[in-house]
A and B are shown apart, each in its own frame.
Chain A
Amino acid sequence: MKGLLYKDMMNLSGQFKVYLVFILLYGGISIYGGNLGFLTGILGIMSAILPTSAYAYDERAGWDRLALTMPIRREELVACKYLLGWILILIAFLLTVTAQLLIGSDLAESLFVGLILVATTLLYLSVLLPMLFRFGVEMSRVIYVVLLLVPAFAVSAAVLFFTVYRPFSVSKSFFIGTICAFIFLAALINYGSLRLSVKIYRKKEL
């Protein structure tokens, strides 16, 4: 698994650099301007898109075929992409919360925005990864683009909504409770998605 994860990271290193430039650029502008909608959107897209890019690289090279002749289980190949997603989501979460704190949001508000990002991206990957494992990159492309807009819009909208209307003054604990339930649900769906992907992939002919 360590080897597989390392391989994905190296495969993606070129893209990482591009995202890093975007993050620094928009991060700077956003923090200066006091509105983090754009930065959060970029982070959401990054954590949603990179695991699927990693899959696309593998597919193009025919890596899975070779990997499965090695002492690697099919389950590991699948789990690696989910793990990659979780790591990226964690990074995006930490960056978002930090940026929120930097523009002067309070901790609850910052966590709130971060958790929305986590939940939407988790849901996105939960849908997309099984589709990739089942149909491959080419077939999944359309859904891929449509779906990609969902987390970006959701995150940006949520951030906009809460920074403009500041509903926290009303009932902070209610919102935090709701979002925690949402996260829990997203995690559950993500786990179900992992199980489904494994099931799909076990039967896959390469």
Chain B
Amino acid sequence: MEFENALELKSVSKAYPGFLLDRISLSLPRGSVMGLIGENGAGKSTLIKLILGLNRPDQGEIRVIGKSREEYEGRDFRYKEQIGVVLDESAFPENLNLIQIERVLANVYHSWDSDCYFSMMERFSLPLKKPIKDFSKGMKMKQAIGAALSHRPRLLVMDEPTSGLDPVARDELLDLFWEFIQKEDHSILVSSHILSDLEKVCDSIAFLHEGRLIFSQEKDALKQRYGIFPCTLEELDRLEKENPACVAGARKNQFGARVLVDLYRAPENIKTEPASLEEMMLLLVRRHGA
């Protein structure tokens, strides 16, 4: 079956005591990489769990690779062969070693590729005969990612895969992302709060804050839309008075301010510098948080 979007969410909501994931709509076009960013507790994991069918949304529609949540959670559960998942903590049985885990997964997935699995484990230099409870956090994460790729999924969904990894390991992981998307119908949804990682590989960014989707946009469009305007406090005051719509967020200090400017609404002569994703997120949170 052909599908336009690897992921499609329409007005998905989920309420918990003290937390509301509020009408999230977004789509991940086939063949692209989306970064899901936001501070801890913003709702990233909740959203990912809803997509994966671990939790049931209160309302809204979720489609994964063209199938609705009801379908792949019911009769079409085999459809999940096409999704590779890495959760924020390794969830593999702790007393098993990598060879035993391979046997479990080979029995679960029809599309299991044993060679792929073992070559991944070798690539990460993971010991095959040690129970994984003796693995470090980074090793567990590598194992989980290798396993998620070994049943040849078309969509990779990862919750904070880079947390707990040192910079070298993060870099290796990013290489895997790029290798994975060499196939045109392969897509990735990855959540992280380490933004420099995502900045490189992602085509689009979805930003969650306190259960709401602040934006979901192509990265290049974001970079075009927002800029940083370093200025004095007076200049900030004037800008806020004359052009309140263009101030997307600001960080003030005693001697001046860094203002996130929405360039579509800003006066033309304003002199800005490019904003990194991280600064964008931090300054936007300031506005929305206030």
**Which A residues form the contact surface with B (CB < 8 A)?**
2-4, 6-7, 10-14, 57-58, 60-63, 65-73, 205-206
Assembly CA distance A65 to B107 (angstroms) = 18
CA distance A206 to B54 in the complex (A): 6
Binary CB contact string for chain B from 96 to 130 against chain A (1 if under 8 A, 0 otherwise): 10001001111111100000000000000000000
Report how far A206 CA is from B56 CA in the complex, Å. Answer: 10
Given A69-B54, A71-B108, A205-B54, A63:B93 Cβ within 8 A = yes
Return the chain A residue nearest B107 by Cβ.
Answer: A3
Do residues B93 and A71 form an inter-chain contact, with CB atoms below 8 A?
Answer: no
Chain B's closest residue to A1 (CB) is B107
| In the complex, residue of chain B having the shortest beta-carbon distance to the beta carbon of A64 | B91
Question: Is there contact, CB below 8 Å, between A72 and B108?
Answer: yes
Question: Does A70 contact B80, Cβ atoms closer than 8 Å?
Answer: yes
- Please judge, given known A-B contacts A3-B106, A4-B104, A6-B103, whether A66 and B87 are in contact too, CB under 8 Å: yes
- Would you list which residues of chain B between 62 and 106 have a CB under 8 Å from chain A? 77-81, 83, 85, 87, 89-96, 100, 103-106
Q: Smallest CB–CB gap between A52 and chain B, Å?
A: 15
B53 adjacent to A68 (CB under 8 Å): yes
Interface residues of B (CB under 8 A from A): 49, 52-56, 77-81, 83, 85, 87, 89-96, 100, 103-110, 157
Minimum CB–CB distance for A183 against chain B, Å:
32
- Name, among A12, A63, A69, the residue most crowded by chain B CB atoms within 10 Å (CB to CB): A69
B91, A62: Cβ atoms under 8 Å? Answer: yes
Q: SS class of chain A's interface: helix, strand, loop or mixed? A: helix
* Given known A58-B93, A61-B94, A65-B87, contact A3–B56 (CB-CB < 8 A): no
Q: Beyond the given A61-B91, A65-B91, please list 18 additional residue pairs across the A-B interface where CB-CB is below 8 A.
A: A3-B104, A3-B108, A4-B108, A6-B104, A7-B93, A7-B104, A10-B96, A11-B96, A61-B93, A63-B91, A63-B92, A67-B91, A69-B80, A70-B108, A71-B110, A72-B108, A73-B77, A205-B55
Of residues B79, B96, B108, B109, which shows the largest number of chain A Cβ atoms within 10 Å of its Cβ?
A: B108
Report how far A7 CA is from B87 CA in the complex, Å.
Answer: 19
* Residues in chain A near residue B157, CB distance under 8 A: 69
CA distance A12 to B93 in the complex (A): 10
Residue of A nearest to B54 (CB): A206
Given A57-B95, A206-B54, A71 contacting B81 (CB threshold 8 A): yes
10 contacts between A and B (CB under 8 A): A3-B104, A7-B100, A10-B96, A62-B87, A62-B91, A63-B91, A65-B91, A69-B83, A69-B157, A70-B80
Contact indicator B53/A3 (Cβ below 8 Å): no
Query: Within the complex, which residue of A11, A69, A72, A205 is in contact with B93, where a contact is CB–CB below 8 Å?
Result: A11
Chain A residues with CB below 8 A from B93, complex form: 7, 10-11, 57-58, 61, 63
Which residues of chain B come closer than 8 Å to A63, judged between CB atoms?
91-93
Bound-state Cα–Cα, A186 to B104, Å: 32
Give the docked Cα–Cα distance between A68 and B53 (Å).
8
B62 → chain A closest CB, angstroms: 14
In angstroms, Cα B54 to Cα A49, docked, is 28
Residues of B within 8 A of A205 (CB): 54-56
Q: Whole-angstrom distance from the CB of A136 to the nearest CB of chain B?
A: 15
Q: How far is the CB of B26 from chain A (nearest CB, A)?
A: 19
The residue of chain A having its C-beta at the shortest distance from the C-beta of B72 within the complex is A71
With both chains docked as a complex, state the minimum distance between the C-beta of B237 and any C-beta of chain A, in angstroms.
48
Knowing A10-B96, A71-B79, A205-B55 touch, does A66 contact B107 (C-beta < 8 A)? no
Q: Determine the distance from Cα of A71 to Cα of B109 in the docked complex, in whole angstroms.
A: 7
**Chain A residues with CB under 8 A of B100:** 6-7, 10
CB < 8 Å neighbour of B94 from A6, A13, A60, A206 = A60
A14 adjacent to B95 (CB under 8 Å): yes
Whole-angstrom distance between the Cβ of A157 and the nearest chain B Cβ = 35
CB-defined contacts of B52 to chain A, threshold 8 Å: 68-69
Of all chain B residues, the one with the shortest Cβ separation from A70 is B108
- Complex-state Cα separation, A4 to B103, whole angstroms: 10
Alpha-carbon distance between A61 and B92 when the two chains are bound, in angstroms: 6
Contact A6 B81 (CB under 8 A): no
Q: Which 10 A-B pairs have the closest CB atoms?
A: A3-B107, A66-B91, A69-B85, A62-B91, A206-B54, A3-B104, A7-B104, A71-B80, A3-B108, A69-B52
Q: How far is the CB of B142 from chain A (nearest CB, A)?
A: 15
